[in-house]
Every structure is written in C-alpha cells, then in structure tokens.
Amino acid sequence: MNNGNHISEIVLSIGDATFTKLKQLNIPPYPKYYHDTFVELMQKESNEELLEISKKHSYLFSNAQQDAQVSETCFGLVKKGLEEFVKTSDNLRFISDETAINIDAIKKDYSSIDTNQVIQAFDHFQTKILEELHVADDTIAKLKLEVERLERESNIDPLTKAHNRRVLIKDLEEVLNFGKEKDIDMHLVMFDADDFKKINDSFGHIAGDKTLIFLTKLIQNSLRRGTRIYRYGGEEFVVILNRMSHEEAQKVVERIIKETCESKLLYKNHDIHLTLSAGLCSHRRNMSSEELLDKADKALYEAKNSGKNCFRSAQ
C-alpha cells in the first residue's frame, strides 16, 4: 500500500469519526468544534507517523486561520453596524428635511395656518422616525447577537462547554495585574480525573466524553456564582478561586473531591466511579501565569503519587 494513501485513509477515517462524535453529542459541526474534536481524535489514534506530520506541518492542523477568520468576520460585522448607523442618520436627516415645517410662517399669520395640517405633519414625521429607528435597532441587535455567538465559539470548549485555555490565560493575566506589587487572595486549582484512560478503555470514548461533561457540571455546581471553570486539556480542568483565604480555598477543593467521589455516573447500565486529584497554588507577589500553572501542576502530580482522590498544595 502506498504510504501517502495510507495516511490519507487514516485522516479520512478520523474525519468521519469526528462528524459521528459531534452528532452523537449533539454538537453543531462548526469549524472550530470540528477542528478541536479532530485533533483530539488524532492524538488518541496514536499513529506516530501522522503525529510526526502534524508537528512538522503544524499549519495544516492549526486553527489559527479559523481564529483569524472569526476576527475578520467580527470586524466585518462591526463595519456593517457602523454603516447602518450612518444610513440611519442620513435617513433621519432626509425625513427631517422632507417634513420640515416653516415655524416663522406660522408665527406671522396664525389665521392662515390649518392646525390639522401641522398636526398631521408632526404625526407623519414621528411615524417615519419610529419606523427608521425600529429598522436600525433590529439590524444592530442581529449584528450584536452574531458577534456574541462568534465570541462564544472561540472561547468555549465544544465538548464540555467550559471555557478554554485561551480564556484562562486572558483571565489570569487580568487578575495578576493586581498582584504585581503584593500578594492577593487568589488561588489556582488544577483538577485531573483519576484513571480516566481506564474509563475510555472499559466503556469507550463516548463514555469518556460523557464523564468529562459530567465532571464539568459537577465542579461548576460546587463553585460560587460567577466562578469560571476552564478545560485545560484532556481530562484536566482549572479553576481560579478569587477573594478567599487559603484555608477557604482548601475547603472548596476538599468539597469538590468529596462530592465527586460520592457521585454516580450511570452509562448503559454501568456505574462509573469517579475521583479527582488536584493541585492548589496560592498567589504570591509578582507571580506569572506560567509559574502559577506550573506549581499547581507539580502539586497535582504529588497528589497523584499520594494515592489519588486527594489534593496537595504547592510549596
């Protein structure tokens, strides 16, 4: 078999599997969602030759072009919105000129003015303005919804609906701006699903995906309103606990681990037992996002080596 044809067959097979998976999970096959799912399945395929090609020709497997297209589309929508504002302004000016009333003439000779005619002119003017504003408002509202949809697509993990790594880095940088000169009450927690590979091997990848969705909801429901959960990669999730002490952060992590261990996920009449390990890193002055993530990751590794289903704090 020709080697190139062999690789092509694998890529086509992964492409078909990607569409099937998105359909099974009721996820629309938008380009970004398709890309993320395709890359995930490609990595699970563990074909060394294909992985080597993806590294050597990374531009073929990158969604940078998609991100650029999203940005370009957003820019186009904003431009269209501004054009609508200009159009509305011109239309209102035209309506004003068309229905203009000579006030000076009315002042000079009230007896020669038909008041009904003046009232009708005002009513006509008001109706035209309201119609024009309604059209403009409807157009701008649709454009705004489209921009918001594009923004969500580029920031949300398609499978779990958690925020993605890009949003995590952005949010971290914003928080860390307040901690350049002092310690702040912020703690980064990195969670990892224990023995996740066993779930995939025992029940299949769909069960694994259902597990990730379940864990995302479980963690999110254990957090106070407004706290985000981020899918960091694979079965790893990150949470930023803000404005609380180290002791309070520990209690939150302990509660999430306990609730996960006590939970039950039923899949095709099978009870899937889940546990989480976690690494906790508290902020110190001048810490970078890379340093926080690295320390939390090392603390997570220590928790894994300590028997799993527990957490460790970074030193």
DSSP letter assigned to residue 163: B
Distance CA 279, CA 281 (A): 7
Q: What is the layout of strands, in order, in the sheet containing 229-233?
A: 229-233, 236-242, 186-193, 276-282, 311-313
Q: What is the mean pLDDT of residues 185-212?
A: 92
Closest CA to 158 of 30, 269, 67: 30
**First CA to last CA across the chain, in angstroms?**
55
Please give the Cα distance from 181 to 162 (Å, whole number): 31
The Cα–Cα gap between 4 and 309 comes to: 45
**pLDDT at residue 113 greater than cutoff 60:** no
Say what the pLDDT of residue 310 is.
97
The residue with greater pLDDT, 180 or 206, is 206
At position 245, the amino acid (one-letter code) is S
Question: 29 or 273, which is more confident?
Answer: 273
For the residues 286-315, what does the mean pLDDT come to? Answer: 94
pLDDT confidence tier of residue 1, bands split at 50, 70 and 90? very low
Q: Could you give the CA distance from residue 41 to residue 91 in angstroms, rounded to a whole number?
A: 53
Q: What is the pLDDT of residue 214?
A: 94
List all residues 6 or more positions away from 199 whose beta carbon is below 8 Å from its beta carbon.
193, 207, 208, 211, 272
The backbone torsions φ and ψ at residue 29, rounded to the nearest 5 degrees and listed phi first, read -80, 50
As a whole number, mean pLDDT of residues 227-254 equals 94
58 CB burial (10 A radius; 0-12, 13-18, 19+): exposed
- Region 232-244: mean pLDDT is 93
As a whole number of angstroms, the distance between CA 153 and CA 67 comes to 10
- The answer to whether the CB of 166 falls within 8 A of the CB of 215 is no
DSSP, res 224 = P
Angle at 33 between CA 31 and CA 36, to 5 degrees: 105
